[in-house]
């Protein structure tokens, strides 16, 4: 092969032109005019489905995340999720940036999404108005489109629909949230137990309560549920589900009529595929809301209502006891009345103590030990009275009665405590009445309104009252105090405003200290051999630290997202892999527990602490 010297010059020119074209490529991209579009998917959408609002900015400049206004008929529950695209095809380049928000329909009908303002390179652009049709049930178009995660090492092409390697959005029927009550009709004051559950055919990684509605017309008591719930098998509409109880509340209606329990919204992180040998699997954030529930509340019947009824509903018993059965006149006794049982004990404030002839009664003090046990509000409430016998002889504390309404029998019942006998002895100085009469007879003095009292002269010199009002220092203090108070409030308000403007920086600066406290709880679990709680607390420590440090919603802190936002912040890639491995190990231990090993748990704790220290040192 022979090289001709004359061919070197054209080849060098071609190479130079290519290099110049590549160097001017960013300028060509920047020269493009920006355009902003908005799209809702799916459309139409079922009232029980979630819809994605995607705002795409094409062209030059970096866009700021748009502020989504309040949209009537839609509830914003997640976002924005930001993605960037760049293409160069046949010498033509293009770039775009997308912001994805998740919304939930509230009612059926047509929803108008107004134009949304987007700031791009200092200019404001408006999206087009979009019409969304919300139907009662999901249609074939209502299924959210499948998409492949940018972190998946596998392509969806050629894979079956249910392949574990395929990355897709979970169907509505695969993950459900339901709200259930133990009764749809109740009397006013009767307990109604509300339970929130997850029915799933896919592994659940994380659950977050996005919105629990205000329950107007109910007295609400929280019922504790296990932090790591156990799955129960349930068949719904012919399909097999794993059922998890995630929240419980004891409701006591305070008024009659039809009361509504509105929908609650939950955010779930679902594992959609198990992954391959070199993959951690894929995860997807989905939002679900429960159906509203109507509870019919019946008023307490008027027929048979006793005169002393105070509104107690449930099943109760009454006890009374006195500290001693013998006392002298003027000597204090302690009378304790205890009401125990199941029902709305917390709404009972006073006990209607009858008149006690022969005793002087002083104010009582109350004490209650009321809690939810076995999903029922129960316990006891006691009142202690100080009573003083006035005259010697045999006194009797009468029978005590307490009226309540029993929902089981739908009748008014009476709880009673038998009377108590007290033997009152004459005190050393006689009874109180006799002693008072003796003193009056001995003195023989009756004060009248026309009598002149003795004047007692003061031993100290009289004060000079001749000063003018404006000469008093207190007058000037009173005038200047409002001015100083207003000036202080102005400085305090300005300081609080500056702090609110830097909420992100505040969270980031204190992230390390908060994480240190959470890790201390995990270490306490190790020392106490509470291994079943260790992994849950350690995982929440890492996720909470990343959320505070990088100002991210905790629902987005998943193993699939960690690597992305760490790379965006130019952190060490090995550090990102170490953090994801820690979370995966905690997840595995929580949902597939094995025999705990103290040494391994100590090593896992040390890795987590070391990872947080390294992130603190690299991010300033």
Which range, of 160-169, 243-252, 494-503, 523-532, averages the lowest pLDDT? 160-169
222 Cβ contact partners less than 8 Å away, ≥ 6 residues apart: 248, 249, 250, 372
CA distances (Å), origin 479, targets 358, 468, 475, 483, 484: 57, 16, 6, 8, 9
H or E element that contains 555? none
Indicate the range of 161-175, 285-299, 406-420 predicted with least confidence. 161-175
pLDDT at position 199: 93
DSSP character at residue 131: E
β-strands 45-46, 130-135 pairing: parallel
List helix spans (H) across 206-304.
Answer: none
SS3 423: strand
Radius of gyration, CA atoms only, the chain: 37
> 467 pLDDT band (50/70/90 cuts)?
low
Report how far residue 413's alpha carbon sits from residue 404's, in angstroms, rounded to the nearest whole number: 5
Per-residue pLDDT, averaged over 497-523, amounts to 73
- How far apart CA 163 and CA 175 sit, in angstroms, is 18
493 membership: H or E segment, kind and range: helix 473-501
In the predicted structure, residue 285 carries a pLDDT above the cut 50? yes
Phi, psi of 128 (to 5 degrees): -80, 155
For residues 319 and 370, give the distance between their C-alpha atoms in angstroms, rounded to a whole number.
17
Residue 411 pLDDT more than 70? Answer: yes
Helical ranges in 24-128 per DSSP H: 25-30
Q: Does residue 27 or residue 214 have the better pLDDT?
A: 214
Section 130-135 average pLDDT: 89
The pLDDT assigned to 594 comes to 53
pLDDT at 157: 37
Q: How many CB atoms are located within 10 Å of the residue 501 CB?
A: 10
C-alpha span between 614 and 620 (Å, rounded): 11
Beta-sheet strand order (sheet of 314-322): 314-322, 333-343, 376-389, 359-373
What digits encode the pLDDT tens for the residues 221-266?
999 998 888 889 999 888 999 999 999 999 999 999 999 999 999 9
Sequence-distant (≥ 6) Cβ neighbours of residue 503 within 8 angstroms = none
Kindly state the average pLDDT of the residues 147-165. 40
pLDDT recorded at residue 614: 81
Domains of the chain plus CATH, in order, are 29-142 (2.60.40.10), 172-298 (2.60.40), 314-425 (2.60.40), 505-618 (1.20.120)
pLDDT digits (tens, 9 = 90+) for 51-64: 889 988 887 667 78
Q: What is the mean pLDDT of residues 319-335?
A: 90
Per-residue pLDDT band for 144 (boundaries 50, 70, 90) equals: very low
Of the ranges 452-466, 499-513, 572-586, the best mean pLDDT one: 572-586
Work out the average pLDDT over 335-346.
92
CA 232 to chain centre: 25
pLDDT of residue 6: 42
pLDDT of 279 over the 80 cut: no
Note whether 52 and 100 are within 8 A (CB): yes
Give dist(CA 456, CA 45) in Å, integer. Answer: 91
Q: Decide: 218 and 259 in contact? Cβ < 8 Å.
A: yes
Task: Name the 3-class secondary structure at 91.
Answer: coil
Tell me the average pLDDT across 388-392.
89
Nearest to 308, CA basis, from 400, 382, 379, 397: 400
Q: What is the mean pLDDT of the chain?
A: 77
Summarised one tens digit per residue, pLDDT across range 32-47 is: 567 888 888 888 888 7
pLDDT at 302 (0 to 100): 92
Structure tokens at 421: 């006998």
Q: Would the pLDDT of 174 be above 90?
A: no
The CB density around residue 248, as the number of other CB atoms within 10 Å, is 17
Site of tokens 């990343």: 546
Determine the average pLDDT of the residues in 403-408. 94
Q: Is 37 exposed, middle or buried (0-12, 13-18, 19+ CB in 10 A)?
A: middle
Query: Is the pLDDT reported for residue 559 higher than 60?
Result: yes
Scanning 317-404, the segments in alpha helix (DSSP H) are none
């Amino acid at each position: 092969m022979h090289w001709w010297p004359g061919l070197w010059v054209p080849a060098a020119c071609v190479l130079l032109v290519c290099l110049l074209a590549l160097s001017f490529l960013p300028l060509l991209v920047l020269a493009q005019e920006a355009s902003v579009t908005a799209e809702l998917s799916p459309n139409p959408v079922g009232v029980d489905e979630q819809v994605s609002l995607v705002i795409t900015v094409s062209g030059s400049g970096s866009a700021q995340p748009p502020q989504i206004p309040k949209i009537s008929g839609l509830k914003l529950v997640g976002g924005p999720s930001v993605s960037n695209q760049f293409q160069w095809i046949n010498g033509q380049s293009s770039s775009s940036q997308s912001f994805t928000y998740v919304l939930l329909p509230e009612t059926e009908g047509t929803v108008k999404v107004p134009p949304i303002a987007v700031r791009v390179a200092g200019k404001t652009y408006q999206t087009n108005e979009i019409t969304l049709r919300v139907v009662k049930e999901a249609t074939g178009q209502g299924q959210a489109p499948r998409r492949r995660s940018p972190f998946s090492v596998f392509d969806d092409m050629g894979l079956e629909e249910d392949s574990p390697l395929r990355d897709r959005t979970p169907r509505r029927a695969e993950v459900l949230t339901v709200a259930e009550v133990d009764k749809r009709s109740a009397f006013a004051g009767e307990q109604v137990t509300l339970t929130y559950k997850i029915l799933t055919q896919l592994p659940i990684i994380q659950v977050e309560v996005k919105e629990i509605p205000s329950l107007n017309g109910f007295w609400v008591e929280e019922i504790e549920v296990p932090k790591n719930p156990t799955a129960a098998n349930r068949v719904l509409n012919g399909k097999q589900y794993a059922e998890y109880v995630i929240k419980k509340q004891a409701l006591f209606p305070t008024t009659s009529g039809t009361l509504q329990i509105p929908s609650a919204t939950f955010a779930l992180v679902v594992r959609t595929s198990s992954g391959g040998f070199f993959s951690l699997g894929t995860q997807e954030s989905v939002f679900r809301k429960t159906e509203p529930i109507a509870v019919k509340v019946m008023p307490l019947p008027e027929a048979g209502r006793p005169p002393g009824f105070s509104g107690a509903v449930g099943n109760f018993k009454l006890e009374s006891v006195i500290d001693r059965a013998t006392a002298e006149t003027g000597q204090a006794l302690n009378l304790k009345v205890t009401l125990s049982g199941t029902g709305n004990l917390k709404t009972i404030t006073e006990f209607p103590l009858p008149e006690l002839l022969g005793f002087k009664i002083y104010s009582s003090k109350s004490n209650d030990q009321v809690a939810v046990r076995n999903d029922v509000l129960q316990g006891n409430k006691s009142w202690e009275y100080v009573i003083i016998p006035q005259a010697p002889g045999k006194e009797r504390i009468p029978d005590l009665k307490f009226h309540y309404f029993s929902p089981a029998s739908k009748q008014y019942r009476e709880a009673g405590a038998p009377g108590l006998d007290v033997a009152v002895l004459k005190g050393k100085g006689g009874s109180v009445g006799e002693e008072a009469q003796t003193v009056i007879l001995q003195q023989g003095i009756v004060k009248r309104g026309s009598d002149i009292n003795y004047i007692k002269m003061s031993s100290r010199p009289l004060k000079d009252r001749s000063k003018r009002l404006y000469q008093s220092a207190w007058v000037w203090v009173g005038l200047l105090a409002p001015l100083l108070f207003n000036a202080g409030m102005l400085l305090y308000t300005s300081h609080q405003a500056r702090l609110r403007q830097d909420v992100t920086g505040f969270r980031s600066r204190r992230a390390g200290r908060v994480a240190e406290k959470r890790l201390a709880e995990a270490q306490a679990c190790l020392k106490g051999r509470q291994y079943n709680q260790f992994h849950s607390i350690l995982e929440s420590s890492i996720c909470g630290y990343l959320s505070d440090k990088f100002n991210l919603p905790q629902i987005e802190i998943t193993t699939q997202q960690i690597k992305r936002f760490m790379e965006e912040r130019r952190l060490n890639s090995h550090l990102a892999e170490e953090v994801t491995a820690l979370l995966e190990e905690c997840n595995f231990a929580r949902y597939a527990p094995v025999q705990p090993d103290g040494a391994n748990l100590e090593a896992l704790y040390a890795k987590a602490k070391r990872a947080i220290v390294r992130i603190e040192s690299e991010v300033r």
